Amino acid sequence: MSAAITAITMPKWGLTMTEGKVVQWLKPEGASFAQGEEILEIETSKITNVVEAEADGTLRRIVAPEGATLPIGALLAVLAPEDTPVAQIDEFVAGFVVVERPDDATDASDTVTPRELEVAGRRLRYLELGSGDEVPVLLLHGFGADLNSWMFTQPALSDGRRTIALDLPGHGGSTKDIGSGDADAFVDMVDCALAELGIERVHLVGHSLGGAVAALVAARRPERIASLTLIAPSGLGSEINAAFIDGFVRMARRRDAVEVLNRLVHDPALVSRTMVEDVLRYKRIDGVTTALETIAHAWFAGGRQTRDVRAEITALAAPVQIIWGRDDKIIPVAQAEALASRLPVHILDAAGHLPHMEKAGEVNRLIRRFIES
């Protein structure tokens, strides 16, 4: 059945990715695999990640050899049941058409580029992917990050639904004038952004500081919240790696940045040269250091988390789940374990403070299952 033939294509991870390199096939041609198993490794100019199986299947044909660099959407492999005739696989490969990249589209509304909205005179950048009738998802990044930190998450959630990744004030392409930078200021901005985007009901997904913001937005607008996924959020205890916060605010040179960013992850190999460069490019912009200092002071004064959101979370009627990396060196995983009796808590091995990047497949499945149920 030709309907059972599907393609693995070159994914698009992040705003700037145009092509990727097939580093290694982790399954041989002909192998069967279960959902979640690692199929191949792809390297971009910024990051290396594995592509995991979205469903059980069989790798019938490897089209892209190891070492090949191919554009987004290019055919990498063919999945089909074992009894599918070879001729049908050949036909599928021959007839495969790379979906035209949005960048080449003439209609500007199709392009996957970030947009901006204005809230109380302040500019916020956001990236919207997907459309459909399902309840939209809003993604809120952590301290010092931006919407690109959802590069593996957002595409996986955008099938049949609007997904929006927002740059919080002081971050990414959003305004560097952040006012007080405290919890109320962030919640106000996100709340207004939701109104501006015309979102009535929403699944909130927040990482780290963005997790605490998401929890507080949910507490303010409980009627709007379909679910809340918190990934290594702040606000579940007082302990935090003060040296990281301080180091991130102060770092100006590559050497310092590598040391600071390595603390974010379980495997430092994730922190590529270009990822470090991207963070430094953000940090060099006028006003960023002041914004980060203000935020750090408002949220983490004295090297402790000062805004606790546990009461807000446990009082929520909407379902809440918590995802954490066991090797989190920024906020201790014990803060999640303490809540495990009251909320679903998923602790992922071999992941640090960025489980949504380090264990993207697993986190995507957890979020999808949660918002689809």
Partner 1 sequence: MPVKTIRQALHEALEQEMRRDPRVVVIGEDVSGGAGTEGGRDAAGGVLGVTKGLIKEFGEARVIDTPITESAIMGAASGAAVTGLRPVAELMFSDFLGVCFDQIFNQAAKFRYMFGGKARTPLVIRTMVGAGRSAAAQHSQSPYHIFTSVPGLKVVVPSNAYDAKGLLIQAIRDDDPVVFCEHKLMYDLKAEVPDEAYTIPFGEANVVRDGDDVTIVALSRMVHYAGEAAEKLAAEGIECEIIDPRTTSPLDEDTILESVERTGRLVVVDEATPRCSMATDIAALVADKAFGSLKAPIRRVTAPHTPVPFAPSLEKLYIPDPDRIAAAVRDVHGYAR
- Distances in Å between the alpha carbon of 38 and those of 73, 201, 215, 229, 286? 19, 34, 32, 24, 42
125 counts as binding partner 1 under rule CB under 8 A: no
Q: Given the complex with partner 1, which of 222 and 287 has the nearer CB atom?
A: 287
The window from 122-130, 150-158, 208-216, 281-289 that contacts partner 1 (CB under 8 A) reads: 281-289
The window from 104-112, 134-142, 285-293, 353-361 that contacts partner 1 (CB under 8 A) reads: 285-293
User: What is the C-alpha separation between 164 and 115, in angstroms, rounded?
Assistant: 10
CB of 15 to partner 1, least distance (A): 8
- Distances in Å between the alpha carbon of 23 and those of 17, 41, 65, 70, 195? 16, 5, 9, 11, 43
- Per this entry, what is the length of the chain? 373
Hunting for tokens 């807000």 — which residue is that?
312
CB of 276 to partner 1, least distance (A): 9
Size of the site for partner 1 (CB under 8 A): 12
Tell which one of 86, 285, 301, 350 touches partner 1 (CB under 8 A): 285
Q: Given the complex with partner 1, which of 254 and 304 has the nearer CB atom?
A: 254
Q: Given the complex with partner 1, which of 65 and 255 has the nearer CB atom?
A: 255
Tell which one of 118, 131, 239, 281 touches partner 1 (CB under 8 A): 281
Q: Which of residues 223-262 bind partner 1 (CB under 8 A)?
A: 252-255
Q: Given the complex with partner 1, which of 83 and 286 has the nearer CB atom?
A: 286
- Distances in Å between the alpha carbon of 208 and those of 39, 296, 333? 29, 13, 12
CB of 373 to partner 1, least distance (A): 38
CB of 117 to partner 1, least distance (A): 17
Q: Is 150 in a helix, a strand, or coil?
A: helix
284 counts as binding partner 1 under rule CB under 8 A: yes
122 counts as binding partner 1 under rule CB under 8 A: no
273 counts as binding partner 1 under rule CB under 8 A: yes
- Distances in Å between the alpha carbon of 279 and those of 15, 184, 253, 274, 351? 15, 26, 10, 9, 20
Q: Is 276 in a helix, a strand, or coil?
A: helix
Q: Which of residues 167-226 bind partner 1 (CB under 8 A)?
A: 176
CB of 21 to partner 1, least distance (A): 12
User: What is the C-alpha separation between 155 and 201, in angstroms, rounded?
Assistant: 20
- Contact indicator for 313, 320 with CB cutoff of 8 Å: yes
Q: Given the complex with partner 1, which of 281 and 304 has the nearer CB atom?
A: 281
Token reading at 35: 């959902």
Buried b (16+ CB within 10 A) or exposed e, 183-202: bebbbbbbbbbbeebebeeb
Q: Which of residues 2-21 bind partner 1 (CB under 8 A)?
A: 16
User: What is the C-alpha separation between 46 and 272, in angstroms, rounded?
Assistant: 6
CB of 286 to partner 1, least distance (A): 4
Q: Is 203 in a helix, a strand, or coil?
A: strand
CB of 102 to partner 1, least distance (A): 16
Q: Given the complex with partner 1, which of 49 and 175 has the nearer CB atom?
A: 175
Site string for partner 1, 62-101 (x = CB under 8 A): ----------------------------------------
Q: What is the dihedral of CA 197, 373, 143, 361, to 10 degrees?
A: -120
CB of 273 to partner 1, least distance (A): 6
The window from 137-145, 191-199, 283-291, 352-360 that contacts partner 1 (CB under 8 A) reads: 283-291
- Contact indicator for 60, 88 with CB cutoff of 8 Å: no
Contact residues toward partner 1 (CB under 8 A) are 16, 176, 252-255, 273, 281, 284-287
